[in-house]
Structure 1
Amino acid sequence: MRILVNERGAERLLSRHLWVFARDVVSGPEAPGLFPVYWGRRLLALALYNPQSALRVRAFRFRPAEDPEKALLENLQRAVSRRLGALGREPEGGFRLAHAEGDFLPGLVVDYYAGHAVVQATAYAWEALLPQVAEILKPYVKSVLARNDAKAREMEGLPLYVRPLWGEVPERVTVKEGRVRYLVDLKGGQKTGAFLDQRENRTLMESLRGERALDVFSYAGGFALHLALGFKEVVAVDSSGEALAWAQENARMNGLAIQTVEANAFDYLRALEKAGERFDLVVLDPPAFAKGKKDLERAYRAYKEVNLRAIRLLKEGGVLATASCSHYLTEPLFYGMLAEAAKDTHRVLRVLERRGQPFDHPVLLNHPETHYLKFALLEVL
């Protein structure tokens, strides 16, 4: 059995983009699975395939293999092997062991939290392979949990569930990150439990010093904890009271003091500006305002507004640490938005650092969707 694509689908695979959508698939098997992809008689790739999904083809290899399943699982083993140095240096840390398309493992994410693995599969073909995935992970972890509760699974025709694949899975674990520790709810936290892609940007905050810092869209206080090591007053703002309760628990565990405010970020920033409040540093780590291409114009305005408000709150020489996790807001658009916000506030932004995803969230230049995180450290003059 094979998948046949049209010329446009072939062009995508020949350019080494991993995806082909339903409109460019001429024919394919009736059931999901792993199959070779052809353009006429030319083999283009091996791919995960689901005839029910709009994202019909997800390539994982661009050369033949006698056993496609073995080839896919070898990609997982290679991905894990590339992270072993980090795990050895910080076994109590948090790392991504498998980054979907970035590791030629489309539809599969595996995160490591202090010796425990959390797996999330959002492509149909992975469902039957989860026992093999757990077997590959066993030598490196104490337990493997399937967090298959992502809404994206519904588009693949898959059920939502959370269940152990191997070992005894704790309700929560303590993860070490730089000089702080934080709690992770493996079975109920955001995504697979926490947001690991900002790890290195959070630890960067430990090198900064000042009087007052503001962490907006704080979730469980990730940036605020690191800032509390060097700032006399740290305020963490989030719309979730539950997340802020976790932030306070994390702060107590580290012997740190932070203030938490449950509020809509936009409303709170306006209120701070009206009250004449000023800060030495503001962190903005919002959710993806642009979840689809159609959202980009509205999202651009939202990113600009929240950054504009933050700039107005900063003292001269203050620092803005700002991020976007939407790949639709490209890096040029991100920095263009920041330039517009600076212009509208009549202030100058000096770039201190341009940053992005850590090594365990690899980017494929041929597959731009893998490049989603932008992070800028800016001095406000």
Structure 2
Amino acid sequence: MKQARQFPRVIVTKKAARALKGGHLWVYAGEVMRLEPAADGRLAVDGDVVDVLEENGTWQGAGLFSPASTLQVRIVSRNANDRFDDAFWRRRLRWSWEHRKTTMGRRLLPGAEPDTNCCRIVFSEADGLPGLVVDRYEDVLVTQVGTVGMERLRPVIYPLLLDVLADDGVRIRGIFERNDAPSRAKEGLGAYKGWYEGIPGIAGGASAAAGAHVLAHENGIAYDIDLENSQKTGFFLDQKYNRRAVRQIADGRRVLDCFCHVGPFGLNALAGGASYVRFVDASQTALDLARQNARRNGWLEDGRDANKNVGFTCANVLEYLPRMMGDPTLPSAEGGPFDLIVLDPPAFTKSRRTIRHAARGYREVNEAALRLLPRGGYLATCSCSHFMTRDGLAQAVAEAAHGAQVQLKQVEERQQAPDHPILWGMPETHYLDFFVFQVV
């Protein structure tokens, strides 16, 4: 190390040091051997920057300290010369924004908005800002803060991010905070949501008066996004390019969009020339928004709940698909027979303990879809849990094909969009796998 260190120290086990050397960024509570004060005698408190050292004195990096959490340290730097001042955080935010501009800035569809108009600007550990997620929806930012360190840094990070965007001519009218995730309790943090009031002239009264909705565009399709009540930050931006993959094979097909949420896969299918789309979701609220979005984009006439191109069904997909198999009249009544089925389920597992149960769920829902598809039909299917690995999902789909007595021809294998970057050494950042198959 080339500079005197003024930070409290966390001494970790050899196991933790090996993981950190391999690129992982977390130190678990069970891997902390002891805490030591800074040179001036100061002890670490919630959210402090701390040095992480192996017992032999080898420096492994500096991170944010979360004593109430099972993840006690999240590494933010492996450069001993870094100073954690405004310039450091501005640099991190600039790198994050430049990454989105580079990987997404020139991918826009003809006649559509730039892909950076709606994208994830900050993806936590993958961008060197652990515990912080920032999504952009046109002129509004939606943030999620999940760690005590980032909670303390909000008044620093938010203005810096606005400055970084303003340097590129991007003007933001408000920051809406969705700090209501249950996981915050593990950090000793309370839950809340609302417009951030800490920056004069930004958010606050004007944005609050306009409500917590924003009209956003993705792949040339307009969405009314409820920032306050929708899941996560309001929309699932990670599937942006996977939706385009569905659009590319939808022409002339009858599509069943399962777990449709507010309709983005089905609407992309319609944009690609699908002759019919049936939207299915267990949430009536989400389905109502899907209906509004179909109407907003001209695929549903005013005053009608359905027409010859679209239909909506509020149902649990895990029950709906078996009913479709058991009743030969139901597919036709629902707008089928379908020759393209999209499965975009919520995470079936959020822990390693339930992987086996989740694998059975993925197998069963994919087998039901495959039994409904004709030869030559297409299946788009995915998993959004890092615990269900790519190979685990592939095995579940292969077993589903065996059970349905069909063979699959792979069309595409995809992952999350590049605004949700995968950081090698941190498998937790790779959580979305997406396949497109043809039934042969």
Please give the range of the TM-score, normalised by the shorter of the 2 chains.
Answer: over 0.9
In structure 2, distance between residues paired with 1:36 and 1:63: 11
In structure 2, distance between residues paired with 1:376 and 1:211: 18
In structure 2, distance between residues paired with 1:50 and 1:65: 23
1:128 CA displacement: 1.5
State the match for 1:31 in structure 2: 45
In structure 1, distance between residues paired with 2:316 and 2:387: 24
1:186 aligns with 2:227: yes
State whether residues 23 and 424 of structure 2, in contact with CA within 8 Å, keep that contact through their aligned partners in structure 1.
no
1:79 aligns with 2:119: no
Which structure's CA Rg is the greater one? 2
Q: What amino acid is the match of 2:286?
A: A
In structure 2, distance between residues paired with 1:81 and 1:179: 23
CA, structure 1 residues 365+287, in 2 after alignment: closer, same or farther (shift >3 Å)? Answer: same
In structure 2, distance between residues paired with 1:66 and 1:79: 18
State the match for 2:246 in structure 1: 205
Instruction: Single out whichever of 90-99 and 254-263 deviates more from structure 2.
Output: 90-99
State the match for 2:303 in structure 1: none
Q: 2:175 aligns with which of 138, 144, 155?
A: 144
SS in structure 2 opposite 1:237?
strand
1:263 aligns with 2:323: no
In structure 2, distance between residues paired with 1:115 and 1:145: 11
State the match for 1:63 in structure 2: 79
Instruction: Single out whichever of 79-88 and 26-35 deviates more from structure 2.
Output: 79-88
1:305 aligns with 2:312: no
1:249 aligns with 2:292: yes
1:80 CA displacement: 1.8
Q: 1:53 aligns with which of 50, 63, 69?
A: 69
1:9 aligns with 2:16: yes
SS in structure 2 opposite 1:17?
coil
1:113 aligns with 2:137: yes
CA, structure 1 residues 4+64, in 2 after alignment: closer, same or farther (shift >3 Å)? Answer: same
State whether residues 130 and 150 of structure 2, in contact with CA within 8 Å, keep that contact through their aligned partners in structure 1.
no
State whether residues 273 and 309 of structure 1, in contact with CA within 8 Å, keep that contact through their aligned partners in structure 2.
yes
State the match for 1:220 in structure 2: 262
State whether residues 50 and 124 of structure 1, in contact with CA within 8 Å, keep that contact through their aligned partners in structure 2.
yes
Task: Indicate the percent of aligned positions where both proteins have the same amino acid.
Answer: 36
In structure 1, distance between residues paired with 2:394 and 2:175: 39
State whether residues 20 and 57 of structure 1, in contact with CA within 8 Å, keep that contact through their aligned partners in structure 2.
yes
Q: 1:163 aligns with which of 190, 194, 219?
A: 194
In structure 1, distance between residues paired with 2:368 and 2:243: 22
In structure 2, distance between residues paired with 1:318 and 1:179: 26
State the match for 2:437 in structure 1: 378
Q: 1:123 aligns with which of 147, 155, 170?
A: 147
State whether residues 119 and 148 of structure 1, in contact with CA within 8 Å, keep that contact through their aligned partners in structure 2.
yes
TM-score calculated relative to the size of structure 1:
0.96
Instruction: Single out whichever of 137-146 and 93-102 deviates more from structure 2.
Output: 137-146
SS in structure 2 opposite 1:68?
coil
In the TM superposition, what whole-angstrom CA distance separates every residue of 1:66-110 from its partner, at most 9, and x where no partner exists? 523543453223112322454696458310000111112111100
- Equivalenced residue count is 381
In structure 1, distance between residues paired with 2:252 and 2:372: 15
Unpaired runs of 5+ residues, structure 2, are: 1-7, 36-42, 301-309, 332-336
State whether residues 150 and 160 of structure 1, in contact with CA within 8 Å, keep that contact through their aligned partners in structure 2.
yes
In the TM superposition, what whole-angstrom CA distance separates every residue of 1:337-364 from its partner, at most 9, and x where no partner exists? 1111111111001000000111111001
In the TM superposition, what whole-angstrom CA distance separates every residue of 1:149-194 from its partner, at most 9, and x where no partner exists? 1111111000111132242334211121123111111222210111
Q: 1:235 aligns with which of 255, 278, 281?
A: 278
Q: 1:368 aligns with which of 417, 423, 427?
A: 427
Structure holding more strand per residue: 1
1:30 CA displacement: 4.8
In structure 2, distance between residues paired with 1:322 and 1:196: 17
User: What RMSD, in angstroms, separates the aligned Cα atoms of the two structures?
Assistant: 1.7
1:294 CA displacement: 0.4
In structure 2, distance between residues paired with 1:95 and 1:362: 12
TM-score calculated relative to the size of structure 2:
0.83
Q: What amino acid is the match of 2:291?
A: Q
Q: What amino acid is the match of 1:260?
A: F
Q: What amino acid is the match of 2:215?
A: T
1:279 CA displacement: 1.0
State the match for 2:5 in structure 1: none
